[in-house]
Amino acid sequence: MLLHEFMSEHREEILFACEKELLESSADRSESEVSEFAEQFFDETLRALRRDSGVPGSPSPLPGKSETAARFGADRQRAGVPVMHVPRIFAAISQALGQVGARYALTISAEEYKRLNSCLDSGIATSIENFWRRDRDRENRLITEHFGFLAHELRNALGNANMAFKLLRQGELAIDGPTGDVLARNLALMESLVAQCLGSARLEVGDPPALVPTRVATVLHDLEAASLPDRGIRIELDVDESLQIAGDEMLLGSAIGNLLHNAVKFSPPESKIHLRASASADSVVIDVEDECGGLHTANPEDFFKPYVKEQRGNHQGTGLGLAISKRAIEAMGGSIRVIDNPGHGCTFSARFPRLPG
């Protein structure tokens, strides 16, 4: 019996064994949802073997690119399945065919075996190619959204600063009045957004930063001076002037500045933000504690993942600032965690190896 004849006669039995193989080989059972893809690709393979054996009316895209395999790759990427799991469906088809074939003492010629493997290899290649293509498209879309948001924020801040400057230029308003505060706040916001972009660019280059002795107090005092929060929000700084870490001043400023900017954004009017730096025998800890009311999420650590948008109340973050902070802190040998204080706020805590001062 030819291979395509055996596959046609025992189709249901092979597909049942394939589904069983997928269930048993999957730790999270996500592959149990792909039996429809397995069935469609099996039929494409069957038609390709029929066609190559001279059976008329058996069109199949295989061993070329299969739309079924392409959709499967995109579906697995969308479902968040790791790329190394993508070939399992094709391995399951092969193993199921082998199991059922052994049950009936099937013999396969070298030429049929070659054709079968060519179809399976094509399916694997097409699905993985489409997995990565969709992954890149998603990444590019998120990057475009992020920089579109930054451009929008910069334009708004620049417009507000320009309007305040024009009013001050007329000479009828005092520079230390409310209009001067508007100008100062928006200039500080633009500086924060540019620092975020520069920090991101530095990290994307991939070269490790040159770490030098860095006084933590200098960076935190600069951040405090540059932060002009509105809505009556106050920043209280408590820092040991002697603390030093092996760091990069720009990256440290960008990382802690992002945390401070987030704290201001999500805090209610008239609240207080604590910016602290303390030390143990071998570590320096920098805390940014706010009064946002809590994180309202089961997985606060997800906020550090790129493009996971942070939602608290009516405010939403871009989903990149905290990821940049985490990467910058880790590039300097540190670590960061978030402590949720439900009903009160949260604390972002960065820990670095301490240099003797």
What is the distance between the alpha carbons of residues 292 and 316, in angstroms, rounded to a whole number? 13
Give buried/exposed letters for 61-98 (b at 16+ CB in 10 A, else e).
bbbeebebbbebbbbbbeeebeeebbbbbbebbebbbe
Q: Which of 31-40, 196-205, 255-264 has the highest mean pLDDT?
A: 255-264
Whether the Cβ atoms of residue 233 and residue 224 lie closer than 8 Å to each other: no
Predicted confidence at residue 153, as pLDDT, reads 66
Predicted confidence at residue 299, as pLDDT, reads 72
Give the position of tokens 């149990």.
Answer: 32
Counting residues of the chain whose pLDDT is more than 70, the rounded percentage is: 83
Mean pLDDT of the chain: 84
Task: Report the predicted TM-score, pTM, of the whole model to 2 decimal places.
Answer: 0.53
Give, as one character, the DSSP assignment of residue 347. E
What is the distance between the alpha carbons of residues 222 and 218, in angstroms, rounded to a whole number? 6
Task: Note the pLDDT tens digit of each residue in 203-212.
Answer: 666 667 788 9
User: Within its chain, how far is the Cα of 40 from the centroid?
Assistant: 32
Give, as one character, the DSSP assignment of residue 271. -
Predicted confidence at residue 324, as pLDDT, reads 79
Given a cut of 60, whether residue 309 has pLDDT beyond it is: no
- DSSP letter for each residue of 156-219: HHHHHHHHHHHHHHTTSS-TTSHHHHHHHHHHHHHHHHHHHHHHHHHHHH-PPP--EEEEHHHH
110 — pLDDT class (breaks 50, 70, 90): very high
Tell me what the mean pLDDT of segment 263-292 comes to: 91
27 — pLDDT class (breaks 50, 70, 90): very low
Task: Note the pLDDT tens digit of each residue in 337-353.
Answer: 998 888 889 999 999 99
Predicted confidence at residue 280, as pLDDT, reads 85
Whether the Cβ atoms of residue 222 and residue 185 lie closer than 8 Å to each other: no
| Cβ atoms < 10 Å from Cβ of 157 | 19
What is the distance between the alpha carbons of residues 297 and 294, in angstroms, rounded to a whole number? 9
Q: Which of 35-49, 144-158, 162-176 has the highest mean pLDDT?
A: 35-49
Predicted confidence at residue 314, as pLDDT, reads 46
Predicted confidence at residue 174, as pLDDT, reads 82
